[in-house]
Amino acid sequence: MNQFIQQLINGLSLGAIYALIALGYTMVYGVLRFINFAHGDIYMVGAFSGFYLGRWLMGLGMQSSITLGILVLVGAMTICAAAGLLIERLCYRPLRNRPRLTVLITAIGVSLFLEYSGQVFFGADPKPFPPLIPDVKIPAGFVTVTSNQLIVLAVTFVLLIGLTFVVLKTKMGMAMRALSNNPTATSLMGINNNVIISFTFGLGSALAAAAGILASLNYPVITPLMG
């Protein structure tokens, strides 16, 4: 029974990471009905962004702390949001009205490009992720919970609440839902579909980056093929 509870806790932490990845993935599909195969590689870019940002900030004298973790998380999310916007603008927008198979093949190509570019620039060998936040083991009866697992759950909860607010309570979120239902009607109502689609890609990529950082905290080894 104790082992079952321990694995349940481990599964909740891992499931929270998968939830962030899936949310970004399904946001793009929900708006465009398009499978973005490069989404997992954005997750990898987020992990490596955190790796280099963390090493740089620690080289400036910052110690492992919540502050360092937040700075790296925000920085990686910003980098990946920009990468998502760039990929959408250069690779997917020109093919918006082309056959679905064309877009699908392009998505696979973008995914392979990111994976093998990562091997060229980051190296193919696994890298140990820096300890951004001290990982403390917290005994809870017959099971053990780590501080990083609690951080994963807390950050995921905050991001889910924030995403829910954006989608349900903001004009941009209303436009996203309208575009998902009827793209023609949204353009006739004066909504710039390109802006909404770019925002969706950026937001989804930021969530993938957050998942990459949180996964690297719990499983501190990263590779260019992790996505």
Copy the structure tokens of residue 31.
Answer: 């708006």
Residue 46 above 90 pLDDT? yes
Query: Which residues does 36 contact at the CB level (< 8 Å), separation at least 6?
Result: 25, 28, 29, 107, 201, 204
pLDDT digits (tens, 9 = 90+) for 203-223: 999 999 999 999 998 888 899
Q: Would you kindly state where each structural domain of the chain is located, as residue ranges?
A: 16-222
* pTM assigned to the model: 0.90
Taking only the tens place, the pLDDT of each residue in 185-207 is 888 788 888 888 889 999 999 99
Packing angle, helices 39-59 and 193-218, rounded to 10:
60
**Average pLDDT across the chain, whole number:** 87
Q: Provide CB contacts within 8 A for 35, sequence distance 6+.
A: 29, 104, 107
Q: What is the pLDDT of residue 48?
A: 94
Query: Residue 152: CB partners within 8 Å, gap ≥ 6?
Result: 13, 16, 17, 214, 217, 218
For β-strands 143-146 and 137-140, DSSP reports them as: antiparallel
